[in-house]
Structure 1
């Protein structure tokens, strides 16, 4: 995590692990404890008041997502639509 030029890195005790960001946010919203999530996943819960952001001045490092496919030639229309949807969904994140 970082706050301006200050960085903090520690191994924290974990009570629950999941590979689904949506599941982790839902569990956190039920009161299981403090969770870490992206703004995109947590936003609806924050807007409804089901979650409250703690440490708002701190943020996680950004990550780059990659879509890997054989090539642009003869790309199926479904693939192009999916990639366009992903690009639009994460444009403001």
Structure 2
């Protein structure tokens, strides 16, 4: 299948294609015997192929030394681990 990045399980809102893809993947667990085997599912991304020409653009954020957390609770938990000297990542980096 030649689908846009992030859509390896099929087009959104297309349970028939998604079921076929997952079923074929599970079937490969029994059928495929050698690395590199390719099974053609004869599925195509709906519509034209303009998605192949489109530049996805740069989506990465610039590197930053400031820690990033999912939530305030996440931050509090990480800071507690650090204060207690149990942080495996920063052990020795900041004098601990």
Establish whether TM, by shorter chain, passes 0.5: no
- TM-score interval, normalised by the smaller of the two chains: under 0.3
Q: Higher relative contact order at CA 8 Å, sep ≥6: structure 1 or structure 2?
A: 1
- The higher radius of gyration belongs to 2
The structure richer in strand per residue is 1
